[in-house]
Amino acid sequence: MFKELLLTAAFFTLAFGAAFAAEPVSLSGDELRKAVSGKTLYIKISRFELPIRYSPGGSMSGSMGAVAAALARGDGASDRGKWWVSGSQLCQRWSSWMEGKSYCYKFTRRGNSVSWVRNDGRSGSARIG
């Protein structure tokens, strides 16, 4: 009887543990900082991915592939900028991309995938590499 109870408990732990791990989690503060610091976010844009590298010191860099750069509107194939966390948002400012304006994003993470909503209402998805 005890063995059956133990096996049942183990089964439910594995089954529901996996389900809970797949639940979306809103990131903020230190969680958000840890999720991106030293990592690359691959932002999905149309059929392309834009890799953005977030360095631990608050700098970031991005580089478009040749095809994506050809379709861009004169902002250049690569850029550098600064990033920081403000409350529950990841904020960033590029040197030339996005007209050098600051934008902040709210992130919801599910495994290595994230959904984001920018402070102007635009939204999208990315993966953390």
* pLDDT on residue 64: 84
pLDDT beyond 60 at 19: no
* pLDDT on residue 68: 55
pLDDT beyond 70 at 5: no
Q: pLDDT tens, 47-98?
A: 889 999 999 999 999 998 765 555 555 567 899 999 999 999 999 999 999 9
**DSSP states of 70-103:** HHS-SS-SEEEEEEEEETTEEEEEESSGGGG-EE
Contact 116, 107 (CB under 8 A): yes
pLDDT beyond 70 at 3: no
Give the global pTM.
0.76
How many angstroms separate the CA atoms of 82 and 112, rounded? 23
35 against 14, higher pLDDT: 35
